[in-house]
Amino acid sequence: MRALITNDDGIGSPGLLALARGAVAHGWTVVVAAPSEEASGTSAGLSAAGDDGRIAVERRELPDLPGVPAHAVAAHPGLIALAAAQGAFGDPPDVVLSGVNRGANVGRAVLHSGTVGAALTASLNGARALAVSLDVGLEPGPNPHWDTAVAVAATLFDRLAALPAGTVLNLNVPDRAEVGTPRQTGLAEFGTVRSHIENGDDGAISLTAVTVEGELPPDSDARLLSEGHPTLTALRSVTEDPDVRIL
């Protein structure tokens, strides 16, 4: 299997490196292409730096990944996934692994995640995709357990490869040294952390993250993750809704 490794935290993210090393150890042919700068919250956006339509791409050598092609791309992860599908970094990937994201991606707000956006874009272009996130919380510790997230993800690699093209899986892993096996579940309406808009006195607005108060829905991804379980959710990309009749 040919695997593209990308993310929205940027080419220098330790989670990206850990995931790439995990894919290499699994025996897959790996290429890394990730944003040259942080691109969190960009969903499946196709924005890129450069006014003339050209996208800067810089070759990199990544630690402990000798011989693995790596590219720092001045673009959002959705555009990177699209470019990879069209042969920008070699043959189109069979599998796209996006992450490991620094922070959970649970609930319906995964719509806004660049990590998930890359996976969804990959699926629309014929690849199987797995988004991987580590639940470090709003106040992460000094040593996130990237290897734990990769170990859990690796147990899914062969199953992902056997699923139909276009499949998207979203995996969230607690930030612990040891965790159990993933539990497949649905999306909560909101996760444990929610975006909050504040109006400033000068007319500007600011975006902050706040912890959601109250009981999380039972058996939802947010609830199970908060209880210390890795969660796995199969996502469906954009499609028509046959249940809505207008005309």
Q: What is the pLDDT of residues 63-98, one digit of tens each?
A: 999 999 999 999 999 999 999 999 999 999 999 999
Provide CB contacts within 8 A for 231, sequence distance 6+. 106, 171, 172, 182, 183, 184, 185, 221, 224, 225
pLDDT score for 52? 72
- Least reliable range by pLDDT among 32-46, 174-188, 196-210, 215-229: 196-210
- The mean per-residue pLDDT over the stretch 130-135 comes to 98
Question: Does 210 fall in a domain?
Answer: no
Question: Does 20 fall in a domain?
Answer: yes
Calculate Rg over the CA atoms of the chain: 18
Report residue 170's pLDDT band, with 50, 70 and 90 as the boundaries.
very high
pLDDT score for 100? 98
Question: Does 204 fall in a domain?
Answer: no
pLDDT score for 228? 96
Please check the confidence at residue 115 and state whether its pLDDT lies above 90: yes
- Tokens 């014929």, residue located: 126
Question: Does 226 fall in a domain?
Answer: yes
Question: Does 133 fall in a domain?
Answer: yes
Number of domains in the chain: 1
Q: What is the per-residue pLDDT across 204-221, written as a single tens digit (0 to 9) for each?
A: 877 666 666 667 878 899
CATH number at residue 169: 3.40.1210.10
Provide CB contacts within 8 A for 180, sequence distance 6+. 228, 229, 230
Question: Does 151 fall in a domain?
Answer: yes
Mean pLDDT of the chain: 91
Question: Does 154 fall in a domain?
Answer: yes
- The mean per-residue pLDDT over the stretch 15-40 comes to 97
Question: Does 64 fall in a domain?
Answer: yes
The percent of residues above 70 in pLDDT, for the chain, comes to: 92
Range of the domain at 59: 2-188+216-235
36: left (phi over 0), alpha (psi -120 to 50) or beta: alpha
Find residue 132's DSSP bridge partners: 171
